[in-house]
Amino acid sequence: SPKIRHPQKIRPSRGFAELLNIRPPPKVRPSKDLFGIMPAKQNNRACRIGKCTYHRVLYMEILVHSVVMAAFILFQILDDGGDLTHWIYKKYPNMFKKIKGIVEESVTGVHRLYQLSKAGKLCVPAMNVNDSVTKQKFDNLYCCRESILDGLKRTTDMMFGGKQVVICGYGEVGKGCCAALKAMGSIVYVTEIDPICALQACMDGFRLVKLNEVIRQVDIVITCTGNKNVVTREHLDRMKNSCIVCNMGHSNTEIDVASLRTPELTWERVRSQVDHVIWPDGKRIVLLAEGRLLNLSCSTVPTFVLSITATTQALALIELYNAPEGRYKQDVYLLPKKMDEYVASLHLPTFDAHLTELSDEQAKYLGLNKNGPFKPNYYRYLLLCCNVK
């Protein structure tokens, strides 16, 4: 409760702390803190949030122990972006003795897990849900194909027809954004670093360019790379007046927004999630959601997509929890294909869709079990973006 003022009264019991295999929190001393956030001065120890006064150390302790307790009870980490995994790894590495596995749903989090695995530092099995076909196609591709338009419309009320748009990254999210904007009559340019995705963009009818080549002429810049500083201050300086800049990729790293917080530039909030950044010569760029994810900040995510993602995550958690000893080692795994197919089949009735069953003869001919899995793990479920209208 925020009204508690005496840290000693709610410190977790020693037994609980021992159970969690962590040291009980230290006694509050004015000059020391848990995360280096507490100022040395004693009279700065209290902080106000709303109408209540908190003790800073107490507040952090409550927060830390709630999260630790949740992880402890669950025995598993369900993460999106890898931050929780990273935090527990840094602060409470002993907890991994009790955790049965990690389920990670984002591109970036999965990338971090593979890095840990490569360095031999992953100490529990991890399930890469992001690369499950059902998650990737729906959350990354189909969802972004719809929510990019929704987010842009709600924030800018613009017309898309004839607008020049550059989309950085032609992965799943980029493909969805490109398809949507092309279908609305926009002229779409793509930037890529991967020759395969670049070739796909060309074959889907998009002009592959370097960002520098089109930055002066485009009306909208959208980042979808999962990378950092894809749009730099130099790009922002060269954009034309009223250019809209937004991010559909990872967190707030893709656009170098920090570089815009300099004295010569003026920020004007024109409506919720929409800022005009004004240069000394009067040029304005329209920055959406301060560089955070456009669709998560400014539009809604369809419940159907959430259902698919949540089902995939739940199955991954159950699989890791129930798996017999030794099935999963300290490595990163994909959800078994059969479970991916199961997630899809659970969602088919929404469309009153009727699935064809293999006859015994056909199953034998293809060398398949009649109940799946129907495709090998290496099968790619490609989407031809140019056909999406």
Ligand X SMILES: NC(=O)c1ccc[n+]([C@@H]2O[C@H](COP(=O)([O-])OP(=O)(O)OC[C@H]3O[C@@H](n4cnc5c(N)ncnc54)[C@H](O)[C@@H]3O)[C@@H](O)[C@H]2O)c1
* Interface positions with ligand X (CB under 6 A): 106-108, 139-140, 143-144, 168-174, 191-194, 197, 224-227, 230, 248-250, 293, 295-296
Distance between CA atoms of residues 279 and 92, nearest Å: 46
Identity of the residue, 132 or 186, whose beta carbon is nearer to ligand X in the bound complex: 132
**Three-class DSSP category at 287:** strand
Identity of the residue, 68 or 168, whose beta carbon is nearer to ligand X in the bound complex: 168
User: In whole angstroms, how close is the CB of 325 to ligand X at the nearest point?
Assistant: 32
Distance between CA atoms of residues 55 and 308, nearest Å: 41
Distance between CA atoms of residues 332 and 118, nearest Å: 10
Identity of the residue, 12 or 109, whose beta carbon is nearer to ligand X in the bound complex: 109
Identity of the residue, 64 or 127, whose beta carbon is nearer to ligand X in the bound complex: 127
Q: Spell out the residues 6+ positions from residue 186 whose beta carbon is closer than 8 angstroms to its own.
A: 160, 161, 162, 163, 164, 165, 220
User: In whole angstroms, how close is the CB of 353 to ligand X at the nearest point?
Assistant: 24
User: In whole angstroms, how close is the CB of 81 to ligand X at the nearest point?
Assistant: 7
User: In whole angstroms, how close is the CB of 100 to ligand X at the nearest point?
Assistant: 25
Distance between CA atoms of residues 165 and 291, nearest Å: 17
| Residue closest to ligand X, measured at CB | 171
Paired residues of 222 in beta bridges? 167, 246
Question: Cα angle at 226 between 225 and 232, to 5 degrees?
Answer: 70
Counted residue by residue, the chain has a size of 389
Identity of the residue, 7 or 171, whose beta carbon is nearer to ligand X in the bound complex: 171
User: In whole angstroms, how close is the CB of 34 to ligand X at the nearest point?
Assistant: 30
User: In whole angstroms, how close is the CB of 292 to ligand X at the nearest point?
Assistant: 10
Separation in Å, CA 246 to CA 107, 138, 224: 19, 21, 9
User: In whole angstroms, how close is the CB of 198 to ligand X at the nearest point?
Assistant: 8
Identity of the residue, 174 or 291, whose beta carbon is nearer to ligand X in the bound complex: 174
Count of CB atoms situated within 10 Å of the CB of 368: 14
Distance between CA atoms of residues 99 and 70, nearest Å: 11
Decide: 320 and 125 in contact? Cβ < 8 Å.
yes
* Bridging pattern class, strands 52-55 and 46-49: antiparallel
Identity of the residue, 47 or 296, whose beta carbon is nearer to ligand X in the bound complex: 296
User: In whole angstroms, how close is the CB of 229 to ligand X at the nearest point?
Assistant: 8
Identity of the residue, 38 or 166, whose beta carbon is nearer to ligand X in the bound complex: 166
- DSSP secondary structure letters along 306-343: HHHHHHHHHHHHHHHHHSPTTSS-SSEEEPPHHHHHHH
User: In whole angstroms, how close is the CB of 41 to ligand X at the nearest point?
Assistant: 41
In 125-210, alpha helices (H):
133-135, 143-156, 172-183, 195-203
Closest by CA position to 137, among listed 186, 176, 98, 106: 176
Identity of the residue, 28 or 222, whose beta carbon is nearer to ligand X in the bound complex: 222
